[in-house]
């Protein structure tokens, strides 16, 4: 059977849970029901999904919903699965896959080249009036419970199975977005863009110490060395007057003259 869509009346059902207790859709009239179908107990993906509903069970109940899991496993298998992982909600045993067919999730599957019949993972959100509010036909386990909870709170998109677009990543705080590279000078940029001449590289900053020295007044120009006065010309030795050499010894006075002078 084709899978029912949002706006359709949810197919009625009554199946035993892990304890053998009959569970029907009618008994939850006036409340929202999260009916999720999974392939098999104790398999990796199914375990992650079940534990996700378990971890958010209180929040789901606070939003006014009842959670019901469904697979083609027996009640005994469901009991072991629920006990092992402390699942607080009913697991319905759809052994003859009647309910799975009614919701369009039973069909041919393929695994490692082998084809077989089984349940396709899907979730249905049934409103308090018994009408389907939202359908997830191909469930991805990670983040699925959050999607269901958001839908219950009216935060999910209206389209069936629609995925939220990821929000655009914001640039890290404090970091400026890198400016577009300027085209090299002289080269023409592709159509629609104007070439921008490269700016001359900025001069390197002068270190503080050097800047201080640069600020000092330039050293006074060295004075030209004072020209040395030329050495005085040595006077030529005076020419000796002829005869001026050795003084001539005075002539000895005669004895007579001496006597005369004494007188």
Query: Which of the 8 DSSP states describes residue 261?
Result: H
Q: Which tokens belong to 107? A: 């069909």
Phi-psi region of 257 (alpha: psi -120 to 50; beta: other; left: phi over 0): alpha
Domain boundaries, given as residue ranges, for the chain: 31-152
Start-to-end C-alpha separation, the chain: 190
Residue range 124-146: mean pLDDT, rounded: 96
* pLDDT at residue 111, as a whole number: 77
Q: Which tokens belong to 97? A: 């896959």
Active-site choice (35, 46, 132, 152): 46
pLDDT band at 167 (very low <50, low <70, confident <90, very high): very low
pLDDT of residue 12 exceeding 90: yes
Mean pLDDT value across the chain? 76
Is the domain 31-152 a CATH 3.40.30.10 member?
Answer: yes
State pTM to two decimals: 0.60
In whole angstroms, what is the distance from residue 4 CA to residue 105 CA?
A: 10
pLDDT of residue 208 exceeding 50: no
Is 46 part of the annotated catalytic residue set?
yes
Summarised one tens digit per residue, pLDDT across range 62-101 is 999 999 999 999 999 999 999 999 999 999 999 999 999 9
* pLDDT at residue 109, as a whole number: 84
pLDDT of residue 60 exceeding 90: yes
* pLDDT at residue 14, as a whole number: 97
């Amino acid at each position: 059977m084709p899978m029912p869509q949002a706006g359709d009346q949810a197919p009625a059902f009554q199946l035993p849970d892990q304890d053998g207790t009959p569970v029907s859709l009618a008994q939850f009239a006036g409340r929202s029901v999260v009916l999720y179908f999974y392939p098999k107990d104790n398999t990796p993906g199914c375990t992650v999904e079940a534990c996700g509903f378990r971890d958010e069970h209180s929040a789901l109940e606070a939003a006014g919903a009842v959670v019901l899991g469904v697979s083609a496993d027996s009640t005994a298998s469901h009991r072991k699965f629920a006990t092992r992982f402390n699942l607080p909600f009913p697991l319905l045993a759809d052994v003859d896959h009647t309910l799975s067919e009614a919701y369009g999730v039973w069909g041919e599957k393929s695994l490692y080249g082998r084809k077989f019949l089984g349940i396709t993972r899907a979730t249905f959100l049934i409103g308090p009036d018994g009408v389907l509010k939202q359908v997830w036909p191909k469930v991805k386990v990670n983040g699925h419970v959050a999607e269901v909870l958001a839908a219950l709170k009216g935060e999910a998109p209206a389209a069936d199975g629609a995925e939220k677009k990821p929000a655009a990543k914001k640039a890290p705080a404090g970091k400026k977005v890198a400016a577009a590279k300027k085209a090299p000078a002289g080269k023409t940029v592709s159509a629609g863009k104007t070439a921008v001449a490269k700016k001359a590289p900025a001069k390197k900053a002068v270190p503080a110490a050097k800047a201080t020295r640069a600020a000092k007044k330039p050293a006074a120009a060295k004075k030209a060395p004072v020209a040395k006065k030329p050495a005085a010309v040595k006077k030529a030795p005076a020419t000796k007057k002829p005869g001026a050499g050795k003084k001539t010894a005075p002539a000895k006075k005669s004895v007579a003259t001496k006597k005369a002078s004494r007188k």
